Chain A
Amino acid sequence: METALQEKEEQRGVEEPLPGFLVIAAGGAGKDSASSTIRQHQAAGNPFVMDTLAIDTDPDGLGAFTSAINIALSREAVSALRSDPQRYGPACQAVVRHHPHLLDSETLGRGARTHRPLTQVAWELNKNRIQEGLRAAIHAILQKGPFARIQPVVLASLGGGTGSAATILLLNEFLHPQNKSHLTLGLPPELVAVPVAIVIDAYAHAIQQRNEMTRDWILSNIYASRTELAECEKRGKKYQYVFHLGLGSDAGAIFPSIRDVCEANGLLAWEWMANFAYFKSRAVDSLHFAMTGTHFRGGNTPESIIPKDEWPPYASSKGPDAGPGT
Chain B
Amino acid sequence: MNQTQPEPVPSGMLVMWGISDQPCCHGDVMVSQTDFELSSLYALGCNLISAVLVCEVGGSVRLDPRILSEFQPPVLLEKAKTGLQALTELRLPADITAEAIRKQADLMKDLQAGRRPDVGEQITRATFTVCQEAGQHLRRAFDAAADGAPSKVDEVVDDLVKAIDQMAAGDPGDAQAVGRFIQRAEQITGLTHWRQELPESTFKSLDRQLLQAVQTEHNLALDWFAADRFRYAWQDARDAFKARLDQFREDSQAFRTKARRCLEELDRFYQRAKQRTAALRSGNRILLGGPKDEDLRSALMENRKAGSQVELFEGLRHDLETGLRERALRRGLGTEIQQAPFRRLVLALPADDIVEVFLDLLMAGVSKTYSLYEACQTYGLKRLVSELILRSRTTSWFEGRDDPRFGIIRCNFEMVRLPPAANPKDAETKALIETYFREAGFHEIKTTGYARSISVLRLNAGWPIGIEGGNVALLQAYGRSVLTGHLPHLIGILPDSQAGRHAPGLLRLLGMLEENHK
Q: Does B30 reach chain A (CB closer than 8 Å)?
A: yes
The answer to whether B493 and A301 have CB atoms under 8 Å apart is: no
Beyond A64-B350, A213-B484, A228-B489, whether A322 also contacts B19 by CB under 8 A is: yes
Q: 8 Å CB contacts to A: which residues of B1-43? A: 1, 3, 6-9, 11-33
**Which B residues are in CB contact (< 8 Å) with A256?**
279, 282-283
Beyond A252-B282, A253-B30, A290-B462, whether A247 also contacts B395 by CB under 8 A is: yes
CA distance A41 to B405 in the complex (A): 41
CB distance from B325 to the nearest CB of A (A): 15
The answer to whether A117 and B491 have CB atoms under 8 Å apart is: yes
CA distance A218 to B490 in the complex (A): 14
**Which B residues are in CB contact (< 8 Å) with A255?**
282-284
**Which A residues are in CB contact (< 8 Å) with B466?**
230, 296, 300
**Which B residues are in CB contact (< 8 Å) with A193?**
none
Beyond A242-B27, A245-B29, A297-B406, whether A44 also contacts B450 by CB under 8 A is: yes
Q: Which of B144-152, B197-205, B377-385, B407-415 contacts A (4 or more CB under 8 A)?
A: B407-415
Q: 8 Å CB contacts to A: which residues of B489-517? A: 489-495, 499-500, 503, 506, 512-513, 516-517
CB distance from A26 to the nearest CB of B (A): 13
The answer to whether B29 and A272 have CB atoms under 8 Å apart is: yes
CA distance A94 to B487 in the complex (A): 12
The residue on B at minimum CB distance from A222 is B474
Residue B490 contacts which of A169, A219, A223 (CB distance < 8 angstroms)? A169
Interface residues on A, range: 35 or more
**Which B residues are in CB contact (< 8 Å) with A314?**
9, 14, 19
The answer to whether B390 and A299 have CB atoms under 8 Å apart is: no
Q: Which of A95, A165, A295 has the most CB of B within 10 A?
A: A295
Beyond A99-B500, A220-B488, A253-B283, whether A300 also contacts B30 by CB under 8 A is: no
CB distance from A57 to the nearest CB of B (A): 14
Q: Does A76 reach chain B (CB closer than 8 Å)?
A: no
The answer to whether A91 and B406 have CB atoms under 8 Å apart is: no
Beyond A98-B499, A233-B25, whether A241 also contacts B464 by CB under 8 A is: no
CA distance A287 to B512 in the complex (A): 35
CA distance A296 to B399 in the complex (A): 14
The answer to whether A271 and B455 have CB atoms under 8 Å apart is: yes
The answer to whether A219 and B474 have CB atoms under 8 Å apart is: yes
CB distance from B94 to the nearest CB of A (A): 65
CB distance from A249 to the nearest CB of B (A): 4
CA distance A193 to B315 in the complex (A): 46
Q: Does B486 reach chain A (CB closer than 8 Å)?
A: yes
CA distance A43 to B401 in the complex (A): 40
Beyond A253-B32, A313-B6, whether A234 also contacts B15 by CB under 8 A is: yes
Beyond A168-B493, A287-B462, A313-B6, whether A296 also contacts B488 by CB under 8 A is: no
The answer to whether A246 and B450 have CB atoms under 8 Å apart is: no
The answer to whether B19 and A231 have CB atoms under 8 Å apart is: no
The answer to whether A242 and B472 have CB atoms under 8 Å apart is: no
Q: Which of B154-162, B169-177, B257-265, B475-483 contacts A (4 or more CB under 8 A)?
A: B475-483
The answer to whether A244 and B489 have CB atoms under 8 Å apart is: no
CB distance from A215 to the nearest CB of B (A): 7
Q: Does A317 reach chain B (CB closer than 8 Å)?
A: yes
The answer to whether B30 and A291 have CB atoms under 8 Å apart is: no
The answer to whether A63 and B350 have CB atoms under 8 Å apart is: yes
The residue on A at minimum CB distance from B19 is A322
Contact with B along A248-282 (1 / 0, CB 8 A): 11111111110010001001100110110011001
Q: Which of A1-9, A131-139, A179-187, A302-310 contacts B (4 or more CB under 8 A)?
A: A302-310
CA distance A243 to B411 in the complex (A): 13
CA distance A243 to B331 in the complex (A): 30
Beyond A295-B20, A317-B8, whether A231 also contacts B480 by CB under 8 A is: no
Q: Does A283 reach chain B (CB closer than 8 Å)?
A: yes
Q: Does A116 reach chain B (CB closer than 8 Å)?
A: yes
CB distance from A211 to the nearest CB of B (A): 10
The answer to whether B283 and A254 have CB atoms under 8 Å apart is: yes
The answer to whether A244 and B474 have CB atoms under 8 Å apart is: no
CA distance A120 to B405 in the complex (A): 39
**Which A residues are in CB contact (< 8 Å) with B462?**
287, 290-291, 294
CB distance from B493 to the nearest CB of A (A): 5
CA distance A253 to B284 in the complex (A): 5
**Which B residues are in CB contact (< 8 Å) with A239?**
25
The answer to whether B411 and A283 have CB atoms under 8 Å apart is: yes
CB distance from A167 to the nearest CB of B (A): 10
Q: Does B242 reach chain A (CB closer than 8 Å)?
A: no
CB distance from B143 to the nearest CB of A (A): 26
Closest 4 CB pairs of A and B: A246-B395, A219-B477, A44-B450, A230-B15
8 A-B interface contacts by CB (under 8 A): A64-B352, A117-B499, A217-B488, A223-B475, A230-B466, A294-B407, A301-B399, A324-B17
Residues of B at under 8 Å CB distance from A? 1, 3, 6-9, 11-33, 279, 281-284, 331, 350, 352-353, 356, 360, 390-396, 399, 401, 405-409, 411, 413, 415, 417, 444, 446, 448, 450-452, 455, 457, 459, 461-468, 470-475, 477-478, 480-481, 484, 486-495, 499-500, 503, 506, 512-513, 516-517
Known: A234-B20, A240-B25, A290-B409. 13 other contacts (CB 8 A): A44-B451, A220-B478, A220-B481, A230-B20, A231-B495, A242-B26, A243-B28, A246-B395, A264-B30, A264-B31, A275-B457, A296-B19, A296-B407
Residues of A at under 8 Å CB distance from B? 39, 42-45, 47, 63-64, 90-91, 94-95, 97-99, 102, 114-117, 120, 165, 168-169, 198, 201, 203, 206, 213, 215-224, 226-234, 238-257, 260, 264, 267-268, 271-272, 274-275, 278-279, 282-283, 286-287, 290-292, 294-302, 305-307, 309-310, 312-314, 317-318, 321-324
